[in-house]
Amino acid sequence: MSHGSATLIDGVAVAKAVRDDLQREVAELAERGIVPGLTVVLVGDDPASAVYVRSKEKTSKELGMKGETVRLPADTPQAELEALIDRLNADPTVHGILVQSPLPKHMDENTIVRRIDPAKDVDGFHPVNVGKLLIGEKDGFAPCTPAGVQELLVRYGVDTSGKDAVIIGRSNIVGKPMAALLVQQGAGANCTVTICHSRTKDLAAHTRRADIVIAAIGKPEVITGDMLRPGAVVIDVGINRVNDASAPKGYRLVGDVHFESASAVASHITPVPGGVGPMTIAMLLKNTVRAARQAGK
């Protein structure tokens, strides 16, 4: 499929292909008596988090995995959450543990993330996994959103080797792990990586020489077509709501990239929604299946 001159990267289709592969893998593991188990912990009643959590549980069950959600009230003491994590760490039927962010204000997210056994940290936020990602040790877990971006590049046959990749955004969830993935040796990597952020002097000068642009800014339509080199591969991680009186909900979702102008010059581009977004849960389940395989029980 193409838009303007660009090939549209279909994250819905790739996420389904990843899930189909996982379904086969889960069936194989079942023959060895292994059922990959993912437990999601939701503290409080943030409505957006509730939607994500339901979707994670539902998708894991569809693949034949054990998907469980533990819901705790917003005023749960931190020690109680820590005790729950200790129990999940010790439970051999639980291979992946995810504590849904954001946590209530009285909790310290850093302490909670460090409490999770790194071998079960399928979100890839434990410092041990962050370190393994940087070192290039394959038995760790990479954060799901940047891992999903890499999967899109690989499955669309984008040649990344030796290419200039410019990432805009330096968060620990997207920008930094994205850089760590692309700089490694291997498929969908071997890039020369630049990370830009709000203090970058001349953003357009960087994006204009990039073969691959990955926008993880969290602001609507910052990257426009005139900031891109013709033929660039453009990956838009951003999900932003903008007011739109003509839309049924009064808003619509746009990315960090101005789609219309960018798709006129890019060779490949991800839409928002339907690009990177659907990949995140697929990669979470992929991490969980590998966690189960590595645990071997």
Closest approach, Cβ 239 to ligand NDP, in A, equals 4
Closest approach, Cβ 176 to ligand NDP, in A, equals 9
Identify the sign of the CA torsion 137, 143, 148, 149. negative
Alpha carbon distances (Å) from 162 to 76, 207, 235, 265: 49, 16, 18, 21
Nearest one of 180, 163, 160, 162 to 171, comparing CA atoms: 180
Task: Confirm or reject binding of residue 273 to ligand NDP (CB under 6 A).
Answer: no
User: How far apart are alpha carbons 231 and 234 in whole angstroms?
Assistant: 9
Active-site hit among 66, 100, 120, 184:
100
Length of the chain: 297
Site stretch for ligand NDP (CB under 6 A), options 81-89, 118-126, 150-158, 167-175? 167-175
The pair of structure tokens assigned to 143 is 């954060």
Which of helix, strand or coil describes residue 160? Answer: coil
Which of helix, strand or coil describes residue 135? Answer: helix
Closest approach, Cβ 170 to ligand NDP, in A, equals 4
By rule CB under 6 A, what count of residues binds ligand NDP? Answer: 26
Draw the binding track, 114-153, toward ligand NDP (x: CB under 6 A; -: no contact): -------------------------------x--------
Phi, psi of 22 (to 5 degrees): -65, -40
Task: Confirm or reject binding of residue 168 to ligand NDP (CB under 6 A).
Answer: yes
Task: Confirm or reject binding of residue 252 to ligand NDP (CB under 6 A).
Answer: no
Active-site hit among 10, 56, 150, 256:
56
Task: Confirm or reject binding of residue 277 to ligand NDP (CB under 6 A).
Answer: yes
Question: Count H helices, E strands: the chain?
Answer: 10, 12
Interactions with ligand NDP, residue window 26-65 (CB under 6 A): none
The pair of structure tokens assigned to 225 is 């077509």
Cβ burial of 274 (10 Å; 0-12, 13-18, 19+) is middle
Task: Confirm or reject binding of residue 197 to ligand NDP (CB under 6 A).
Answer: yes
Nearest one of 257, 160, 171, 271 to 215, comparing CA atoms: 257
Q: Is 123 a catalytic residue?
A: yes
Closest approach, Cβ 220 to ligand NDP, in A, equals 9
Q: Which of 165, 174, 223, 234 binds ligand NDP (CB under 6 A)?
A: 174
Q: Is 100 a catalytic residue?
A: yes
Q: Amino acid identity of 267?
A: S
Draw the binding track, 199-228, toward ligand NDP (x: CB under 6 A; -: no contact): xx--x------------xxxx--x------
Sheet architecture: strand order including 66-72:
66-72, 37-43, 96-99
Q: Which of 173, 179, 254, 289 binds ligand NDP (CB under 6 A)?
A: 173
Task: Confirm or reject binding of residue 237 to ligand NDP (CB under 6 A).
Answer: yes
Closest approach, Cβ 221 to ligand NDP, in A, equals 11
Active-site hit among 10, 121, 123, 256:
123
Site stretch for ligand NDP (CB under 6 A), options 17-25, 58-66, 182-190, 196-204? 196-204
Please report the DSSP string for 20-65 in residue order. Answer: HHHHHHHHHHHHTT---EEEEEEES--HHHHHHHHHHHHHHHHTT-
Binding site for ligand NDP (CB under 6 A): 145, 168-171, 173-175, 196-200, 203, 216-219, 222, 237-240, 276-277, 280
Which sequence positions are flagged as catalytic? 56, 100, 123
